[in-house]
């Protein structure tokens, strides 16, 4: 397990850090030694066209906007009310486009939910919401149900086994009057959404750092050995499982599968994106979203840490090692790929796809062609130097970002500087900034007119 009081943006499994240390030591300049805010090379001029794959370029560079799209507008649908957010990505396919939420962009209430990030705990999982309640997992496997109107606690259940520590990770989903909880303590649990009582609990062989996705009669989750497991929502029995390639290097975020119809798409830390038949686990197709860079040892971390999104017949996913892909959901055939490395879910909405890179570059891409409308450096004016012992080992610190979500005609992201930032979705111009009081590494969700954010200190914040 990981020791020391590390912030979320510096977490990898300890074995992967050791494996990369010798390579990193040979680099001339390392701006940040772990995955979310890495050094960036010179600007690239590559632009994708329809059906074209971009060649390997310097790691995590900005993409030049397409001349063909210069000055062209793009369509965004109007905002829709959100009556439930049952899965980490909102819906089972993770394809929520434009929501009514946070219209005044002011903090309505705050609620402490338990353990924040510490020596043996990490806050990784998005909250979910349904039936007037927000369900959230703290850094030590305690689940809380809070009133969505005022943040009042309704119930709280600690699923950490007595005497055990360090089983961080997992997440929550809700459906059919149950709250499904995956856990780093090697359990999958269903709680009664009204009372918090345990309905069933199923042991698993290894910890689960991913969040669950519930769809129909099954709840799906990926464990740390890249095994996707399907559980019966009523009994907790495993209905099937499928193991991918084991990969020790991973990002500590609670990714979750995407489900549409009888297809489930699972993200693995090996850089694999695997589609299976949801009813029986039969593999349908497999693609690898990874590449290696000569300028960054950490491109070897291939994890797809953000949720894949299934939207309008295509799967959108981004890997840490630097591939953003649009793939046909039925065959897995690539429509286009771009050299963007990220750990957050892409946001396909209207005519475009929004994605934020590890370096804080927000890119807006034409959904059909893969060409770039514009990019914006979210960290412009936020980069700072931090000195080490006696002024030695200075490092460049760039905030890391989570999101985006399109809410009430604003593109909203949160960051490790403890801010929620609202941008114009057509231009990228800043329209508002809120201080959250603590770093935030988990993308906001939307529910009943509010944006809900969980911070690294273990606080739930409602933005109305």
Mean pLDDT on 322-343: 97
Among 144-148, 371-375, 392-396, 437-441, where is mean pLDDT lowest? Answer: 392-396
Asked if the peptide bond before residue 404 counts as cis, ω within 30 degrees of 0, the response is: yes
Q: Could you tell me the sign of the dihedral formed by the alpha carbons of 70, 60, 399, 344, in that order?
A: positive
Highest mean pLDDT among 30-44, 377-391, 444-458: 444-458
Q: In what order do the strands lie in the sheet with 128-130?
A: 128-130, 133-137, 142-147, 153-158
Please state, in angstroms and as integers, the Cα–Cα distance from residue 408 to each residue in 75, 350, 355, 424, 425, following that order: 15, 14, 18, 10, 10
pLDDT at 29: 25
Q: Which two tokens stand for residue 456?
A: 């690294």
Query: Residues of the chain with pLDDT > 90: what percent?
Result: 75
Residue 390: pLDDT band (50, 70, 90) is low
Q: Which pLDDT tens digit goes with each residue over 412-458?
A: 999 999 999 999 999 999 999 999 999 999 999 999 999 999 999 99
Name the nearest CA neighbour of 355 among 325, 379, 397: 325
pLDDT at 163: 79
Q: With a cut of 90, say whether residue 260 has pLDDT above it.
A: yes
Residue 284: pLDDT band (50, 70, 90) is very high
Q: With a cut of 80, say whether residue 343 has pLDDT above it.
A: yes
Residue 254: pLDDT band (50, 70, 90) is confident
Mean pLDDT on 274-303: 80
Q: With a cut of 80, say whether residue 393 has pLDDT above it.
A: no
Residue 385: pLDDT band (50, 70, 90) is confident
Please answer whether residues 232 and 178 qualify as being in contact, where contact means their C-beta atoms are separated by less than 8 angstroms. no
Q: With a cut of 50, say whether residue 45 has pLDDT above it.
A: no
Q: Which two tokens stand for residue 209?
A: 């750092």
pLDDT at 447: 98
Q: With a cut of 80, say whether residue 250 has pLDDT above it.
A: no
Neighbours of 259 (CB within 10 A): 24
pLDDT at 245: 84
Among 244-253, 300-309, 322-331, where is mean pLDDT lowest? Answer: 244-253
Q: Which pLDDT tens digit goes with each residue over 55-100?
A: 333 444 568 999 999 999 999 999 999 999 999 999 999 999 999 9
| DSSP helix/strand/coil, 461 | strand
Q: With a cut of 70, say whether residue 155 has pLDDT above it.
A: yes
First CA to last CA distance, the chain: 38
CATH superfamily of 8-463: YVTN repeat-like/Quinoprotein amine dehydrogenase (2.130.10.10)
Residue 300: pLDDT band (50, 70, 90) is low
């Amino acid at each position: 397990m990981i020791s020391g009081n590390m912030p979320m943006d510096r977490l990898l499994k300890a074995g992967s850090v050791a494996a990369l240390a010798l390579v990193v030591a040979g680099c001339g300049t390392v701006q940040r030694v772990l995955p979310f805010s890495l050094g960036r090379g010179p600007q690239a001029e590559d632009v994708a066209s329809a059906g074209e794959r971009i060649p390997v370029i310097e790691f995590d560079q900005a993409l030049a906007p397409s001349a063909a799209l210069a000055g062209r507008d793009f369509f965004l649908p109007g905002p829709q009310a959100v009556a439930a957010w049952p899965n980490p990505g909102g819906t089972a396919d993770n394809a929520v486009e434009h929501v009514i939420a946070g219209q005044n962009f002011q903090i309505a209430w705050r609620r402490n939910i338990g353990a924040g990030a510490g020596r043996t705990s990490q806050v990784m999982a998005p909250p979910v919401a349904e039936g007037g309640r927000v369900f959230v997992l703290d850094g030590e496997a305690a689940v809380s149900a809070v009133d969505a109107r005022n943040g009042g606690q309704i119930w709280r259940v600690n699923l950490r086994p007595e005497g055990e520590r360090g089983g961080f990770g997992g997440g929550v989903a809700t459906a059919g009057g149950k709250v499904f909880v995956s856990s780093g303590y090697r359990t999958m649990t269903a709680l009664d959404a009204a009372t918090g009582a345990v309905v069933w609990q199923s042991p698993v062989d290894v910890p689960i750092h991913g969040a669950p996705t519930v769809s129909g009669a099954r709840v799906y989750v990926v464990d740390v050995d890249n095994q996707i497991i399907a559980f019966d929502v009523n009994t907790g029995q495993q209905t099937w499982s499928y193991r991918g390639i084991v990969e020790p290097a991973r990002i500590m975020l609670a990714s979750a599968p995407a489900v549409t119809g009888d297809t489930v798409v699972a993200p693995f830390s090996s850089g694999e994106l695997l589609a299976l038949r949801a009813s029986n686990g039969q593999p349908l197709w497999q693609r690898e979203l990874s590449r290696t860079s000569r300028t960054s040892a950490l491109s070897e971390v291939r994890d797809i840490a953000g949720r894949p999104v299934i939207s309008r017949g295509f799967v959108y996913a981004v890997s840490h090692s630097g591939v953003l892909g649009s793939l046909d959901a039925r065959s897995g055939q690539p429509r286009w790929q771009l050299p963007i490395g990220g750990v957050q879910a892409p946001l396909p909405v209207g005519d475009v796809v929004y994605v934020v890179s590890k370096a804080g570059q927000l890119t807006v891409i034409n959904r059909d062609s893969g060409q770039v409308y514009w990019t914006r450096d979210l960290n412009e004016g936020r980069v700072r130097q931090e000195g080490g012992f006696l002024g030695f080992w200075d490092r460049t610190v760039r905030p890391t970002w989570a999101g985006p979500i399109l809410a009430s005609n604003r593109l909203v992201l949160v960051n490790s500087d403890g801010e929620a930032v609202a941008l114009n979705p057509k231009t990228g111009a800043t329209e508002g900034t809120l201080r959250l009081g603590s770093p935030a590494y988990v993308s906001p969700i939307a529910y009943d007119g509010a944006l809900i954010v969980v911070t690294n200190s273990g606080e739930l914040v409602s933005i109305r």
